[in-house]
Structure 1
Amino acid sequence: MEESRGAFVLAIAWTFTGIAVVIVALRFYTKIRVSRNLAWDDYVVLLSMAAGIGAAILVSISVPLGLGRHTDQVLAEPGGQQRVVKAARIQMIGYPFNILAFTLPNVAIAILVHRLLDPQLWRKRLLWGLATFQVIFAIIPCIIIFAQCSPTGKLWNPALPGRCWHWAILNNITYFLTAYTAMTDVALAGLPIAAFWNLQMQASTKFKLSLMMGLTLLSAIITIVKATYLYLFTDRDDPLWNVIPLVVWGLVEQNVVVIAACVPPVRPLFSRNKRHDSPTHVATHCGELGFKLPSIHQGSSRQLGPNYDSACDAHLDDDIISTRLRDDAASSSSKEAIYTGPSGLDV
């Protein structure tokens, strides 16, 4: 009986893509109808989701051509050679879609973290540096993949006359991008978590905040797992079959990172504040993500006590979390105050 992984690939592609689409839709519903605060990071996530859908569509087109089957079995069928070439071409076209799908959400997360932390100059430069280089390092392999062969068609049809760079060049660049993306995932989780744990607030609140903002750590783990299969992208022994683990982990990665970028902004939709039943009311008065956080503010004389309570976080289990966090004077002042301005606005 002939082996085929095509159905498995399609199930993974559209299950994870479907979940991501729903989460992105909830994000936009929340930002438009509840928080009423669309920002640049929302459009970056939308672009990433579009790229992810494009990647899933291209994988779906490749399966009837033979993706997920042994290459020699496809070649033995009438028109098999043409189908193998078409599948290889679609695979190459899908490469930049996947790259954009799993790198752009980090840019959106960097924008969100910048808005939440209202960082010092060094932190601002770090966040924008991470985001800028994430984009640059994503664009480079997208260009190289189509520039490495002359003519370009030789990339998916080795029988054509011409020349190609050594396959290790693209592989090494992709390894570098993957390593940088994993590092960025960790940094984008670590920065807000470190700031939250320095605040004088209940440990349970810190844990909830850290869990919500630390989902990019899961993305980092998946990125590292996918990296172990990157060498399969240039496999020549059985390309339609051997590449499947890389395709599957690529599909999982691109959707998980989108979901991780959307969880914090979606949180206000599920708020049930005991003092304000309307999520819109809470989001409007408690900031973009709903959490009102104590923060360190230089020159303040008000000390945050252990019984700190507010309309936004007195019932944290049923409430939503976030406003901009100021800790720019942490090193120079031990006095703390409550920052009540809504996230995204200067006061």
Structure 2
Amino acid sequence: MGLSESYPAYGGRGPDDLRLGLGLGTLATILMILRVYVRLRVNQFGTTALIWSLVAWFLTVITQCFGVISVLHGLGNKIAVVEATNQLGNYLLFTWITVFFFNMAIPIGKVAVAAFLIEINAGGNPKIRKSLIAVAALNIILNIPQVLLAWFQCSPPSALWDPSRQNLCNHSTSVHYTYFVGAVAAVSDFYLAIIPVTMLAPLRIDRKLKWGLSFLMGLGVFAGGAAIVRTWAAKFIMSDDPSWGVGILFHWGEVEEWVVLISMSIPPVWPLFRPFTHRFIKSSASRSNPLYNQYSQYGSKTGNHTSTGAPPVVTTTISISSTKGVSAAAMPVGASSSAESMTRYSEEPETPHTVWSSNGDPEGWVEMSHYKQNHCQ
């Protein structure tokens, strides 16, 4: 028995919206599980961003669940079909519940991205830190009226999901405010996607690595594009066929929600995949880099490595640092295999040498965790 037989109002854009949301949601959920695993088993970095991400994921899952119920009761289908199947009341109720949780999930997702970027910026550029805090705060503050307006478009509020009292509702204020908040959300997505590229640009790391990270951390531009379309689609709430038009809004709202979670979850889970990328990534750090001078002390301070005066051969890998703002000289690491170095050195958790600041000093998220040095007799 198909869904259309159990739910006669199901159809139109609804099935595509349902498949898209469940597909993106599954990918985002897998990445969130891996992200929690990395935090618990691999390193201690990114707790605040992870908590915000889990809250955003939870709200997005609730939004998706009610969105599925709304689709089954006519969201995305022609309003004439919804009315003919006596599902208009259910469509209105579950659609507005979906909108309510959507309006909470969207700003929390942006706060989670900002928190992640603040943590990888560590003690770096204070202007970037302040701008990220401003973006997070602005999205929270501006979305509070958006959340409340959804329930005060009708007098009394219960008329919102009562088909016989829709004449008591005025959606114009809410829709016009949605245009404003949606524009802010789109600009925020673009900013949160571009700012990591400006952090990466000055780093002396392999070009493939730099472009790859820039692409992964810049996926938020797709969320920004989705925010523009779903903001434009808000006008269909006041159209003659709202259930059909709101299907467009729901479609792009799903993309915006899940892409934000996906784009911010790929970088933190990189430690699980880096052993498979060594042959594609090589160090492009300059041999004259003053950082190499700091490595020479390993010859006298570690028993396994003896300095010969030649600079070490550095293999660049990616992970979340477990210690922020610590100098390279204070971080002994072993020349072990990729898999072993992810978690231990001489039975101790690895504290990677990290590089993220504009002058190449240790700070943040990209690590150079292995080095090899010739032994002298």
- Do they superpose with TM above 0.5? yes
Q: CA–CA distance in 1 between the matches of 2:253 and 2:128?
A: 30
Deviation at 1:162, TM superposition (A): 8.2
Q: 2:237 aligns with which of 233, 237, 249?
A: 233
Match of 2:177 in 1: 173
Aligned equivalent of 2:301 = none
User: Cα offset for 1:322?
Assistant: 9.2
Matches of 2:355 and 2:113, distance apart in 1:
14
| Structure-2 residue corresponding to 1:190 | 194
| Aligned CA distance change for structure 1 residues 202 and 20 (closer, same or farther; 3 Å) | closer
1:109 to 110, 113, 130: 113
- Match among 323, 326, 344 for residue 357 of structure 2: 326
- Give the structure 1 partner of residue 269 of structure 2: 266
Match of 2:210 in 1: 206
Please show how residues 5-84 of structure 1 align to structure 2 within 5 Å: 5-37=13-45, 39-77=47-85, 80=86, 83-84=87-88
Q: Cα distance, 1:263 vs. partner?
A: 0.9
Matched residues in 1 for 2:365 and 2:227: separation?
Answer: 34
Matched, 1:242 2:273: no
Going from structure 1 to structure 2, the CA distance change for 1:221 and 1:66 (only over 3 Å counts) comes to: closer
Aligned to 1:280: none
Amino acid aligned to 1:240: S
Structure 2 residue corresponding to 1:146, chosen from 148, 151, 164: 151
Residue 163 of structure 1: CA displacement? 4.7
1:113-139 Cα deviation digits (max 9, x unpaired)? 112223333222111011111111222
CA-to-partner distance for each residue in 1:43-74, whole Å, 9 max, x for gaps?
A: 11111111111112112222332333322233
Contact 1:293–1:339, Cα closer than 8 Å, also in 2: no
CA gap 1:262/1:308 in 2 versus in 1, 3 angstroms: farther
- How many angstroms apart in 2 are the aligned matches of 1:168 and 1:51? 26
- CA 27–178 in structure 1, closer or farther in 2 if over 3 Å, else same: same
- Give per-residue Cα distances to partners, 1:22-62, cap 9 Å, x unaligned: 11111111221222435111111111111111112112222
Contact 2:59 2:101 in 1 (8 A): yes
SS of the residue corresponding to residue 57 of structure 1 reads helix
Instruction: Give the SS at the match of 1:310.
Output: strand
User: Secondary structure at 1:185's aligned position in 2?
Assistant: helix
Residues 141-179 of structure 1, C-alpha deviations (whole Å, 9 max, x = no match): 001111232210122226339854x42211121112221
Distance 1:340 1:292, change over 3 A: farther
Of 118, 121, 132, which aligns to 2:137? 132
The Cα RMSD (Å) is 3.5
AA at the equivalent of 1:241? W
Distance 1:249 1:322, change over 3 A: farther
CA distance 1:160–1:233, change in 2 (3 Å): closer
Question: Which letter maps to 2:158?
Answer: G
In the alignment, residue 39 of structure 1 is paired with which amino acid? T
The answer to whether the aligner puts 1:253 opposite 2:284 as a matched pair is no
Note the alpha carbon deviations across 1:279-309, whole angstroms, 9 max, x for none.
Answer: xxxxxxxxxxxx9998xxxxxx93679x985
Q: How much identity, in percent, do the aligned residues show?
A: 25
Measured in 2, the distance between the counterparts of 1:211 and 1:40 equals 24
Between the aligned partners of 1:121 and 1:113, the Cα distance in structure 2 is 12
CA distance in 2, matches of 1:202, 1:124: 26
2:97 alignment partner in structure 1:
93
Question: CA separation in 2, counterparts of 1:26 and 1:130?
Answer: 27
**2:69 is aligned with what amino acid?**
I
Larger radius of gyration: 2
Partners of 1:337 and 1:4 lie apart in 2 by: 54
Deviations 1:318-341 (A, max 9, x none): 8999946234xxxxxxxx554178
Which runs of at least 4 in structure 1 moved beyond 6 Å after TM superposition? 291-294, 318-322, 340-343
**Mapping of residues 274-289 of structure 1, within 5 Å:** none
Aligned length: 305
- Change in Cα spacing, 1:270 to 1:70, as seen in structure 2 (3 Å) is same
What is the match of residue 283 of structure 1?
none
Q: Is the 8 A contact 2:154 2:160 kept in 1?
A: yes
Q: Helix, strand or coil for the counterpart of 1:189?
A: helix
Counterpart code for 2:269? V
Question: TM-score with structure 2 length normalisation?
Answer: 0.71
Larger RCO, structure (CA 8 Å, separation 6 or more): 1
Residue 146 to residue 340, structure 1, CA distance change in 2 (3 Å): closer
Write the deviation string for residues 62-96 of structure 1: whole angstroms up to 9, x where unpaired.
Answer: 2332333322233234xx1xx20221111111112
Partner residue in 2 for 1:285: none
Counterpart amino acid of residue 260 in structure 1: S
